[in-house]
Amino acid sequence: MVAESLGWSVTDAPDEQPDPLARVAEVEERLLGGPRRHTRAQAAAFADVSEDYARRLWRAMGFANVGQGAAAFTDGDLVALDRLTALVREGVLDDELAVSVTRALGHNAARLVEWQLDALAEHLVRVEGVTPDEATRRAVDLSSDHLEELEALLVYAWRRQLAAVAGRVLATRDADAVSGVLSVGFADLVSYTRLSQKLEERELAALVDRFGQRSADVIAGAGGRLVKTVGDEVLFVADSAAAAALIGLELAETMAEDPVLPDVRVGIATGTVVNRMGDVFGRTVNLASRLTALAAPGTVLVDSDTAHALAGNENYALDVEPTRAVRGMGLVRPGVVRRTR
């Protein structure tokens, strides 16, 4: 016997290692509510759509193509596909919008899941001292063991955010809301490149997380909306120049008081923006980004439209700076905002 040839008795032989693929299948069934047992053709037939369109939706979710005859889909996949295509049949969505909605859901859900597992794993490493690999495996187990609670929280957060957006849309009647006028701000960490070369990866990740968390708290607390965080930079929007100025100043003050984080520089511009899938685009966004690069550490630099909107607001004073040529924007006369009290 192999065990005896290695010098082990049968009772001394090491335990057989579990099959990783079997473990994956077990976790998948728990999360997906059943095994993969349907082909793409069967999924398409169930939802009464073409196989090509079913494949487009699957790719939009962020998943790779599967073989023609591969049993890759669960009962839940078929039900989800049927629900989505029912919205198309009812005229709520058209084919292309359904693909866009699926892509947005898949992209944001993937980011949320990755963040959740990373956060749980880092917590286990820090609190229990387990290895990163073991922490990641346990994070998966914890997520699947508490599936109902986490799923309920996800749906609650979605409903609460939808209610907040509905409230803003239904309560706002002015022309600015119709034309898409917002105040847009960027804040980025000073000397991030130097820090990234000096800090170890885990330390840098902790610093970026701390910056993102503190920024999100400030932005939400002052009535703005965090659009996205990209490493050393956050992008936010506000419905008024005054709210954006408050956010910018509080971001600068918060980071200046933090013993770990470096200062930030903030740039704000006000104007028409294009909203797309939760992100914002356009000249106003580009101008805010350019102003951020020009701002001195710990200051908030604004464009002339923001400055004009703040005129007469007794909470803020503006120090107008010389006119500058800004790449892609032409001549800009920015101003530094400060509190008056």
Give the architecture (CATH level 2) of 175-339. Answer: 2-Layer Sandwich (3.30)
Mean pLDDT of the region 269-283: 86
Angle at 93 between CA 89 and CA 97, to 5 degrees: 130
Confidence check: pLDDT of 171 > 90: no
User: Is 12 a residue whose pLDDT tops 50?
Assistant: no
Give the pLDDT band of residue 330 (cuts 50, 70, 90): confident
Mean pLDDT, all residues of the chain:
86
| Residue that wins the pLDDT comparison between 165 and 127 | 127
Would you state the pLDDT for residue 18? 56
Domains of the chain, residue spans: 20-142, 175-339
Q: pLDDT-based confidence at 224, cuts 50/70/90? A: very high
- Residue 313 pLDDT greater than 60, yes or no: yes
Q: Which of 282, 269, 251, 266 is nearest to 310 (CA)?
A: 269
pLDDT, tens digit, 9 for 90 and up, residues 56-90: 999 999 998 888 889 999 999 999 999 999 999 99
For residue 244, pLDDT over 90 is answered with: yes
Q: Please choose, from the candidates 302, 305, 332, the residue with its C-alpha nearest in 3D space to the C-alpha of residue 319.
A: 302
Which distant-in-sequence residues (6+ apart) come within 8 Å of 271 by Cβ?
181, 182, 184, 282, 283, 284, 287, 303, 305
Report the range of poorest mean pLDDT among 27-31, 34-38, 244-248.
27-31
Q: How far is CA 92 from CA 8, 89, 95, 98, in A?
A: 68, 8, 10, 9
